[in-house]
Amino acid sequence: MTLGPNTAARDTALGPSLRVMGRIDQTWESEGREDLYGDDIFTEAPSEIDTLAHLGPLAPLAGLWQGTKGLDVHPFVAGLETDRYLERYELEPIDPQTNGPQLFYGLRYHTHVTKIGEVGTFHDQVGYWLWEPEAARVTFTLSIPRGEVLLATGSAAPDATSFEVRAATGERHYGILANPFLDRAFTTVAFRMYVTINDDGTWSYEEETDLVVEGSHDVLAHTDRNTLSRLASAVANPMFEGTDGDR
């Protein structure tokens, strides 16, 4: 990691942020998840071909969505800046994925954001939402074209109507990586995203990214929130779509 002249501030911020995040890796290990799959790492787990029927708490997210009341608050030169935005969020089921005995059902997503009244892209993001039924765990991946990626996780019941995923810089398993300039100038030290499935068929998220801006000793919160309404239902995953099976 390239710390640059902001080393002291960044190191000071990193410790508290990781404590707030609950030491993600230690939580995983204390729950015994590292031994969940035993010694046979090669035999693949059996899976069902219909992803939409086996997404656990992610099932209500499948489809094409639109949010018109997005609110973004982020650090700026003079403090914090607020923007309102429109969002188009597409989540399509993928075929079951296995790492030997570890099984995931998932959604591939793309979200595209524009400021209200503007045409140019304000934010663009791709990744996966993954459900690991054996571990009762949601995994979230994020990649943005500014040169930053992360892997976040959180526990959830299969029928949960709300869940949270978290990541932090320095974590071995669920962490954050950025290109050298971004890592120096706008260091992301922690990330959390809280998802709620609403009774009216919409879903909402509240997202917080903790940043240390070069030259500052403060941890600043970059927050985003939106509620999304369905535009279209999801199509079946390729494996299931190619069969004559019924859900």
pLDDT bin (cut points 50, 70, 90) of residue 245 is low
CA dihedral 68→74→76→78, nearest 10 degrees, is 90
Count CA atoms within 13 Å of residue 202 on its CB side: 11
Domain residue spans of the chain: 4-237
* pLDDT tens digits for range 217-244: 889 899 999 999 999 999 999 999 877 6
Closest CA to 105 of 170, 154, 46, 162: 46
The two three-digit tokens of residue 105, written as one number: 């059902």
pLDDT confidence of residue 244: 63
Sign of CA dihedral 211, 148, 107, 113: positive
pLDDT confidence of residue 215: 86
CATH code for the part of the protein at 4-237: 2.40.128.20
d(CA 46, CA 203) in angstroms, rounded, equals 31
Count CA atoms within 13 Å of residue 197 on its CB side: 15
The two three-digit tokens of residue 42, written as one number: 């090669």
The two three-digit tokens of residue 220, written as one number: 């600043």
pTM of the entire structure? 0.86
Among the residue ranges 79-88, 127-136, 146-155, the one predicted with the least confidence is: 79-88
Residues in the chain: 247
d(CA 59, CA 167) in angstroms, rounded, equals 22
* pLDDT tens digits for range 23-77: 454 454 444 456 788 899 999 999 999 999 999 999 999 999 999 999 999 888 7
End-to-end CA distance of the chain: 48
* pLDDT tens digits for range 139-195: 999 999 999 999 999 999 999 999 999 999 999 899 999 999 999 999 999 999 999
Sign of CA dihedral 76, 81, 85, 90: positive
Q: Which helix or strand (DSSP H or E) is residue 11 part of?
A: helix 7-20
